[in-house]
Structures are given as structure tokens and as C-alpha cells.
Structure 1
Amino acid sequence: MKKSILFVDDEKNILRALYRVFCEEDYNLFFAESAKEALDVLESNDMDIIITDFRMPGMSGYDLLKVVKEKYPHVIRIILSGYADENIVFKALQTNVAKVYILKPWNNEELKEIIKNVIELEDKMRENRCLEIINNIDYLPTLKNLYSTICKVIENEDDINKVVKIIEQDPAIASKILQIANSAFYNLKTASVKQAVVYLGLVNVRNIVLNAAVFECVGDGDYKTLLWEHANLTNKIFYYIYERILGKKVQDSFASAGLLHGIGQILLLKLFPQKYKEYRKRIMYSDQYIDFEELEKEIFGFTHTELGAVLLSWWDIPLPVVEAAFYHHKPNSNNIINREIVCAVNIACYLAWDLAGVKQSEEHVNYSKRFLKLDCDNCVDLKQLYENLFNKQEN
């Protein structure tokens, strides 16, 4: 079935140019010259994607997408604009008001490729039975409400005390926030939830709440501890790769890519505890490499990457983090938009499991190293650094 795309721009020549780019593609095309006209189109037509300019008379593209997100959450939201105010752009991405930001002037082939890839990822997640499973997990809606409330405070720039009050009402989440703030990575040393929230920042807190909330749904045990340590170590290595080796700032819109990449594993443990134990034993005690995803399909019928990506998308997490969850074992997939992030998570995940003694294929991590132009010396130094960190934490 053809996908429907709505293009919104107050400049007619831009809309004509977009028509020329897409008129021979297999889409139903709609065009609007204002946010008001766009909302009228959405009200009377089933739309799959909206692609809008940012700066327009009357209602801005950002405000338009906020309305679309609330009224039509299934519609994929993309910004195509020459307006490059970093604060607004980052806010749009980190609150998932927009999944992708494309700067004008655009490259025709790249624009078509991005749209195709976003659609394919959404379709893969919707056709998977993981969505049915997540919709039937009774504890997730409550957690989603907590997470959504924090997101609204961030999006509307409300009083931080609202977030603190929400967190303090849940002792398990509050203790996890304090645990992370006081860890060796942050070393805050505080017993105050408010001080921890201010220090960590609202975006970090939001992502910690998501991860911790899902982890708290699982009873205590060795596998839960293993997965929590793996998630945190992967995140630290991811930050190191991005900031120390690539020399780039980790943006809020993908700051939790390392932390949340394997969240599907904790859901497998929660939903299928006996099968998960069988799965983990086969991985941990094999003297040969076992393909994670092939084994998961054999035991569960689907993979932790599929389950995790569907959960993160359902919770309205930014696209780069969803991609990291979906593709972190296949960074060479043709459908990836944020490949640099996925490759960095792939390497971090590999090293974190390596430290835990889990054997893995080097095929995909070698691809990631080549893509990121990481030489062998850097990778050896990185591994040694985190071996030392891991030993320090153990001692």
C-alpha cells in the first residue's frame, strides 16, 4: 500500500521542487503552504509522514509538529529547513517532536533515502509481534505515564521541582537516580534527589528513569545484575569513543544510546525467565561464537533488538536511540540513518560483553571500526582502559 507524505512550506518554489523530486516515486503526495492548511489536510486524510519547514508565518513548524505528535502520534515527523537554531533543533530531536532534521538545501537522493529508511524501520517494528507483546504488558503503561510526565516537563521547560516530586514518589526509581549520581562515573556523593537531578540534567534523568523502571520490573538475580552492568559499561565506553576518540559531543537526542541499546534483553528476562536462562547459559558457556539473534529467534521467535526497538519507539524515544537498539548487532545494514551512532554503540557493546567473557564474532565490530576510522592502536587502548575500569569496579 502506498505511503502518504505531506510536505509543508510557506514557499511555493520549495513545494514545487519537492514535487519534482518525488512525483515519480511510489508515494501519495500532499502539499500545504501553512501549518493551518497542513492540519486541515491531516484531519481529512490518513497520513504516514509529515515533512515541514521550521520557520513559517503564524504557527511555526516546531509548534505544528508538537500538535501532530499529540493528535496523530503514528505520523512520522521530519523537519526540512534552512533554519539552524541549535537549541530549537536539539529540543525538537531530544523530545522526539521530530525524528529527523534535514538541512536545506537538501540532496535529492539523500532525502529520498532517509525517508525510505525511516519508513522501513517503522514498518519492520509494526509488522513484528513484539508490538502485540508490549501492548499486553500490564506494568508498562504506568511506567510510560511517569516517563511521559517527565518528558512534558522537559519539553515545556517547567519547574524542575515537578520532576523531583514525581521521582520521590517512587522509592525504587529515586534510589537508582541516587545510585548513578553517586557512582564512580559521576561521583556526586549526595543523598538529595533534587541535587542528583540538577547535576545529571533532565535528559539524563529521563533516560535513567526509563532504563531503571524496566529493570525494576525484574526480580533480583545474577542475570539482572549482568544486564545492568553491561548497559552501564556500554554507555561509558560509548561516551569514551564519541568524546575522546571521535572528538565529538554526545548530544541529548542520543545520549542514552549506549544505556538503552540492550533493553530488549531485560524484557526477555522478565517475560520468559526460564527460556532466558537457557538462552544465557548457551551463550555464556559455549566455547564457540553463537549468533545472538539466530539463537533468540530459535528460542523466543524474535530478537531482543526487535523487542527493544519496539519498546523504545512505543515510549517515543528519539530515532537515533531506536536505531541503536535495532541495529547494534548489524551496523552494516543499508537502512541505517544514524550510522555513526550505531557503529559506536556496536563497538561499545562488543567490548562490554568481551569484558564479561562472552564470545562474539568480530565481523560487525570490524566494520564499525573501519566506518569510524578507528585504528587498531586506539581500539587496544580503549579496551585496556575499560578492562582497568572494570577491574577497579570489581575490587
Structure 2
Amino acid sequence: MFSRSAAVLGLRALERRDHLDDRATVLTLFARFTDELCSGLLVVLMPTLRRRLGLSVQQVGWCFQAMYSVGALVEPVTGVLIDLVRRRPLLVAGATAWGAALLLAAGAGGFGWLLAACALVGVAYGPLANTADVVLVEAHPDAVERIASRSTALDTLGALLAPGAVALAAWAGVDERLLLAGAGVGALGYAWLLAGTALPAPAPRPEQVTRRAELLLGIREVIADRRARPWIVALVLVEMLDPLEAFEPVWLADVVGASQSRVAVHVAVGTAASLAALVGLDRWLEFHDGRPVLVIACLGSMVLFPAWLWVPGFGAKLALVVVREAATAPLWPIVHARALAAVPGRGGAVTAVTAALGLLPLHAGFGWLAGRIGLTSSMLWLQLAVTATVLSLVRRAPSDAPVATTER
């Protein structure tokens, strides 16, 4: 089954180290799929959960903030552990935490319970998604951008299935809690599969170096590397755009007046456009450098995002989101891959450094700002400021990441 899946996913076309077999590669690739499917259900269903539980915009902001504040405590620890300990327990722990979080959200009876479920999401993300990223990049040193684009394509497929399932459930009159509970059980099944999978250990370190010293050394190397710094800062900035994705369904419901089913359709259409763009990106990266694509994605985002906000009517927004998402889809996978590969052997330390972003109350702050100046203005200024800065960093950053591979 896993050999056939590897062939369907085109993994045989990528040069891969022998320590990762088909089962491990396929299951690791599906880490971000699982993460995005689970988080997508929570995000897309937030308007319904907000209405059911009687939450304010500020309380929604605190729910999202709980994910990232807890993640800010867990992810740096996970990041350094990725370079020091066996990876399988980390992946299993992350998938198990996702299952528990969704089951808790399905049974939430008030703000406190939903807040607790969102906090548990912060425990899940780092051990699952970040560990998988490092395992895949280390196993494909000559194709870091292409394996990242494959992972992001599956990630996007999970993001597409989430609103698709919500729209179908809304049409059929199915309780949204059944979706959350079903996905939670599925995440626990994925954890069970991971528990029976052999995964490579991190590279051995000198015996005289203690784990604490190795932890500090890795972080110091990442921070001190001037060639890596632009890509790491760019990754931090790209991840600062997360409140836009998190609050988009709420904006569509509150400002545009879209129903839950229309919100789900809008998210699904945009995600499908991202998926198509990522398939094209993989073909481009087979023979070309990713930097020109990054520049186009940044410029396109600075034009298309404001246009999408201001164009009147749900139908026009639905059409424009296709162009917006197709143009900007390459931004995260390329920046993410280059940041992880910028300091060889220190992908976990890079993750630990970038995870510090979660210490900032971005989502709570965004919710507070939206309550003062409005959701539309808050979304516009965050997007323009971050994208313009990323564009400046991309133009100045060194370009030495591998971009092409040979057939196996």
C-alpha cells in the first residue's frame, strides 16, 4: 500500500536517502495533511461555534491565541528535541494530541472548554508538523524545495477537505460536532500507524557534548548564521500572517454576511486554487530556482489581497480568491524549506527559534485591534506590512538552496 502511495505521489522521482523507506516517507508526508485537516475544521467552523457558544470577537481571538501561546512553550522544546532524540515518539504524541483536542472541541459546552481544546492544539502542532518537516528535509537534501512543495500540497488537500466537509454537512443538516469527533478519531488512528513505523534517528553528536550544551549550540549557530538569517526572519514574518487565515471565516460571516455553508465554499474554492498552484510549483522547481516565484507571490499578494477585500459581492470575492490563492500559494513552502535547510543539521533548532513568535499575542492582539478599527482595516494593514517586508528580505537573501533533482 505504501509503495503504491509513494508512486502516486511521485516520490520515486526525488533523490532520497536510504534511511527513510516508503512507509515512513508517506506517513511523514501526511503529518501536515492531518494537521491542516484538523485545524481547518476548527477554523472554518468557528462562526458556528461562536454562535453556538455565544462568543465575542475578542473571545475568538483568545481561542486562537491559546493555540499559539501554548505552541510557543511547546515548539521550542520540540524543536531542539528533534535534533537530539528519536522522532517517532514526537510524531505519535502530536497526532494523539490532535485527536484529543478535536474530541474536546466536539464536546465543548462553553468558552472555557473551547479555550482548553485550542490550548491542546498548541501541544499538537510542533511534535507532529515540525518533526515531519525536519525528517523530510533531512532525507531529501538535494530536493528540499520539491519535498516541501509535496508536503504543502498534501497540507493544502487537507485544508480543502475541511471546508468541503463543513459545506456538505451544512447542506445535509449534520451536526458539526460529528465532524470534529470523526476527525479526532481519525487522528488517533494516524497516531497508531505512526507508532508502528521505523523512523531515522538524528545525526550522532560528539559524546563529550551534553544535550543541554548541544541545545544551546544549535540555537546559537542558527542565530549567528548571517546567510541563514534572512530566510529565518522571512519565515517568521510569513507565519505572522496566520491571523488573516484564522479570522477570514469570521470576516466573511460578520462583514460580508455569508452563511456557514457559503463560508465553507469560499474557503474550499481558495484552497483548491492553492492546491493547483502547488502542483504547478513542483514542476517549476524541478528545473528552476524558486526565488522569482517568491517575488511574484509577494507582489501578487500586495495587489490581490486588497482587491479581494474591497470588491463588492460574495460572487466576485469567490472568483477573486481563486487568483489570490493561486498567486500566493508558493510563498510559504519555499521560504519554509529554505529556512530549514539554511543551517544543515539544525532544522530542529531553526524550528525552535521561529517558534518564539508564538510568545507574541498576535491573535489576541489582532482580535483587540479588530474590535477597535474593524476586521477589514486590520486584515489589510497586517497583510501589506508583512508582505512588503518579506519581499525586501527575499530580494537580499542568498540563493544557494538545491532546486533540481535526478531521477532515481
Normalising by structure 1, we get a TM-score of: 0.24
Q: Which has the larger radius of gyration?
A: 1
Return the structure number with greater strand share: 1
TM-score where L is the length of structure 2: 0.23
Q: Pick 1 or 2: higher relative contact order, CA cutoff 8 A, min separation 6.
A: 2
Q: Which has the higher helix share?
A: 2
